[in-house]
Structure 1
C-alpha cells in the first residue's frame, strides 16, 4: 500500500509548478485547489483565452492600461486568478468578466461561468449565443463590435489609436435574452446586428439602461418596452426602426434619456411623451416624424436637451416650450415650422444653443433673445425672417456662432457685433443687408478671409470635410437631409448619413473660412461661410 501511495504522490503535480499543458489553473498560487468551482471557472477562462481564432491582442480588456498588455503572461501563472486583468472573483466564483474579444467557438466555455453578474465583450464575432439567456445572475451585459480605445503610441496599436475587431457581431438579438430578469444594463451594438427588437426584452423589469444604438435593427419599437418601469436611459439611436413612436413609452415614469434619433420613425409625436416628468434628454431627430410640435412637451420641466432636427414637423413653435427653464440645447432645424420666433425663448436662463435653421419662420428676430445671456450658438439661417439684426445681440458675451444667412434681413449690420470677443463664426450671406460685416471684424486676429479656389470639381464628396457642407434641403425622394450638419450635440449627428455622389460643385470656390480659431470647449473646428450660391 505504501508503494502505491508513493506512486500516486509521484504523479501528483508539484504545488509550485504549472501544469505542463500550459493551463495555470492547477497552481495553488493561481487558484485555491480546494475551491473546485473556482478551479472550473479558471479553466473556462483559460479556454476562452487560448481559443482558436483569437490572437494574443484580443484577451482581457483591462490590460490595455498596462505597459505589458501585449504579453499573455499578464493573464496567467503566477498571478492569482482575482488579479487577472478584467476578472472579478466573489464568494469563490468568477462574477465579473471584461473581455476584449471572443470567438464563436468560445461561447460554451463562457456559459460555464454561471455566477457571472457582469459581462462585457468589446469584440464579438458571429451571432450572439441564445444560451446567454441561461446566465440568470447577469446584471450587466455589454456586447459590441466596436474598436477598443487605446493610446496610439503603444506597441501593436494602429496609428489612429484603435484596435480593429477581427470579426463582427451579426444576426438578430436572441429573444432568450428576455430570460435575464436580473439585468440592470443591456448594451448591444454592431453594424451587422439586425432584425427586430424582441418583445421579450419587456420582461427585463429591472433594467436601468437599454442601449441598442448604432446597429441595423429594423421593424417597430415594441410597445412591450413600456413594462420597463425602472428604465432611466433608452437609446435606440442610429438604426433602421420604422413605424410610429409607441405612445406606451409615456408610462416610463423614471425615464431620463430617450434617444430615438436617426431611424425611420414616422407619424406624429405622441402626446403621452409629455407625461415623462423626469425626462432630461429627448432626441427624435433625423426621422420622418410629422405633425406639430406638441404643447405637451412644455410639461417636461426637467428637460435640458430637445432634438427634433430633420423631420417633417410643421406649424408654429408652441408657447409652452418657453416654460422649459432648464433647457440648454434646442434643435429644430430642417423641418417645416412656420410662424414667429417666440420672444419668450430669451427667458430660458440656461439656453446655450438655439438651432432652428431650414424652416419657414417669418417676421422679425425678437431682440428678447439677447436675454438668454449664456447663448453660445444662434442659428436662424434658411428661414424667411425680415427686418434688422437686433443691436441687442451685442450683449451676448458668450456668443461664438451667429448664423443668419439665407433670410430676408435688411438694413445695416450693427457695429456693436464687433464687441463680441468670443464670436468666431458670423454668417450673413443671402440677405439684403447694406454692409457685409461690421467694422472691426475685418481686422480681428485669427480671422482669415478669402476663397478656396476654382478647382473644387476635382474633389470627390468622400474627400470633402463633412463639417464644411452646407445644410441641405431634405431630399425630395426621402425627406432626409443629404448631408450632415455641425452640432454640439453628439447624439444629434447621424454616423451613417446619406452621402452625396459625384464631385463637389465648382461654385464651392466661393466657400470662405471666416475664422480659424476654435472656441474652447466647442467640439468642432472652424465652420464655413457660403457666398454667391
Structure 2
C-alpha cells in the first residue's frame, strides 16, 4: 500500500496485507459489524478501501474519531498507527489504549489528542497493558500530565517519542522508572531546569534527544553523572538549542559506545572530546560555540577531509587547540595574530600542508608571539623551518617530527628551546 497517495484508485492492495487483515478480523469479536467491509469476496478484495484499516493516515481514515471501535478488536490488536487523524474529541483515549492487552506499538502522530485528565488516569490505572514497547505521540500539544499515564508502562516501554508537545517544568525524575527504556525523544518542548541524574541509571538507554527546550545548568555538572549505568549503552546524546546550558564539556572518553554528540545552540567555554568519535565529517555544531569557547580538544575523533574555512576564524578565540590524530587534509591558511594570549596548538598526525600550496610551514605562525607549544608532527610539510618562528617569544615546545623538512637546525632554536 502507499499511505498518503492522493489518488485512491491508484493504491493497490497486496495479497499479503489482505490476508493479514482478514486474519485479524477472524481473531476479533465484532459485535457491531464494524469490520463488515473486510472480506475476501471479489468485490471487496481491495483492502486499501476497507473502512476500518487500522494503520492509517488522513487518506484512509473512515473510523470513528472517539476510538471506541478499538474495544471491538482489543483481544488481538498489536499495532496501532494513526497520523494527522483528528482525535480531539477522544477524551478517554488513555483508558482505551491502556486496556489493549496485546498492543505493542502505538503511533498517534499529529492527532490533536486531548490532555490526560485525572479521571482518565484513575480509570486507566486499573488494567494497564504490559506489552506496549513503542509509544509515539509526536505533535499532540500534550502537557506534562501525560507523564503520569506513561509511568504505568514502566516495565515494557523501550521507545518513547514525545517530540513537539507542550511538556513543561522539569523532566520528571520518575522517568527513570521506565526500566526498559532505550530511546527517549523529548525535543521541541518547554522543559526547564537540569537533566535528572536518575536518567543515567537506565542501563539500556541508547538514544537521548533533549534538544530545543529551555534546559539550564552547567554541563560539567550533569555529564559526569553519565558514568552511571548508561555509560556503556549511550550512543546518541542531543542537547542542542538549550541556550542556558553552558560551562565546560569534560572528557567523555568513559562513554565507550557514544557515536553522536550534538551541542548546537549552547555556549560552552571548554570542549574536551579526545578519542570521542565525531567524524567522519567535520562537526559543524562547533561553529555555534565561537562566542565563549577558549579550549577545544577534538583529537583522535575520526574526522576526515578538509577543515572548513570558518573553523580557522573560530580558532582565534582559543588559547588551546588540539585537532591531532585525525585525517584532516589541505592547506593551513595564514593565521592572524588575534589568537588569545599564550595559545597551545596541536595539529600533528594529520595530512596538512603549508600555505600557497608550497608545502612549507606557514610563516604566519611567527605572528603568534605568545604561543607556548606548536605540534606539527606527522604531516606533509617540506622545506626548512621558517625564520619567522624565532618571533615566538614564549615558545617552549616545537614538534615537527615525521615531515619532509630539510636543512640545518636554526641557531635560534638553541636560544628559544635550549
| Band of TM-score, shorter chain | 0.5 to 0.7
Q: Report the alpha carbon displacement of residue 269 of structure 1 after superposing the two structures with TM.
A: 4.5
Q: Report the alpha carbon displacement of residue 379 of structure 1 after superposing the two structures with TM.
A: 0.8
> Secondary structure of 2:184's partner?
strand
Give 2:233's aligned residue.
Answer: 350
- In structure 2, how many angstroms separate the alpha carbons of the residues matched to 1:54 and 1:200? 23
Assess, with a 3 A threshold, how the Cα gap between structure 1 residues 412 and 293 changes in structure 2: closer, same or farther. Answer: closer
Correspondence 1:374 to 2:251: no
Deviations 1:206-255 (A, max 9, x none): 22222223544434462322222332211112333342486466633322
Assess, with a 3 A threshold, how the Cα gap between structure 1 residues 272 and 397 changes in structure 2: closer, same or farther. Answer: same
- In structure 2, how many angstroms separate the alpha carbons of the residues matched to 1:329 and 1:285? 14
Correspondence 1:285 to 2:163: yes
Give 1:396's aligned residue.
Answer: 276
Q: Report the alpha carbon displacement of residue 169 of structure 1 after superposing the two structures with TM.
A: 3.0
Task: Give the 5 Å matches for 1:199-214.
Answer: 199-202=68-71, 204-206=73-75, 207-214=77-84
- In structure 1, how many angstroms separate the alpha carbons of the residues matched to 2:46 and 2:161? 27
Give 2:63's aligned residue.
Answer: 173
Q: Report the alpha carbon displacement of residue 310 of structure 1 after superposing the two structures with TM.
A: 0.3
Task: Give the 5 Å matches for 1:238-387.
Answer: 238-244=110-116, 247=121, 251-275=128-152, 276-341=154-219, 342=222, 343-347=224-228, 348=230, 349-359=232-242, 360-367=244-251, 369-386=252-269
Q: Is the 8 A contact 1:361 1:384 kept in 2?
A: yes
Residue 444 of structure 1, aligned match among 319, 324, 329: 329
> Secondary structure of 2:296's partner?
coil
Deviations 1:155-196 (A, max 9, x none): xxxxxxxxxxxxx435x523xxxxxxxxxxxxxxxxxxxxx3
Correspondence 1:406 to 2:298: no
Assess, with a 3 A threshold, how the Cα gap between structure 1 residues 319 and 247 changes in structure 2: closer, same or farther. Answer: farther
Q: Is the 8 A contact 1:263 1:286 kept in 2?
A: yes
Count of paired positions: 293
- In structure 2, how many angstroms separate the alpha carbons of the residues matched to 1:397 and 1:277? 32
Assess, with a 3 A threshold, how the Cα gap between structure 1 residues 412 and 273 changes in structure 2: closer, same or farther. Answer: same
> Secondary structure of 1:313's partner?
strand
- In structure 2, how many angstroms separate the alpha carbons of the residues matched to 1:235 and 1:208? 11
Correspondence 1:433 to 2:318: yes
- In structure 2, how many angstroms separate the alpha carbons of the residues matched to 1:337 and 1:224? 32
Q: Is the 8 A contact 1:234 1:257 kept in 2?
A: yes
Unaligned runs of 5+ in 1: 1-52, 63-84, 98-106, 133-140, 147-167, 175-195, 450-533
- Alpha-carbon RMSD across the aligned residues, in angstroms, is 4.2
Q: Is the 8 A contact 1:121 1:142 kept in 2?
A: no
Deviations 1:121-145 (A, max 9, x none): 34x3xxx64xx6xxxxxxxx54546
> Secondary structure of 1:337's partner?
strand
Q: Is the 8 A contact 2:121 2:149 kept in 1?
A: yes
Q: Is the 8 A contact 1:259 1:284 kept in 2?
A: yes
- In structure 2, how many angstroms separate the alpha carbons of the residues matched to 1:283 and 1:54? 30
TM-score for the superposition, normalised by structure 1: 0.46
Q: Report the alpha carbon displacement of residue 422 of structure 1 after superposing the two structures with TM.
A: 4.9
Q: Is the 8 A contact 1:306 1:330 kept in 2?
A: yes
Q: Report the alpha carbon displacement of residue 436 of structure 1 after superposing the two structures with TM.
A: 8.3
> Secondary structure of 1:370's partner?
coil
Q: Report the alpha carbon displacement of residue 271 of structure 1 after superposing the two structures with TM.
A: 3.6
Q: Report the alpha carbon displacement of residue 433 of structure 1 after superposing the two structures with TM.
A: 3.2
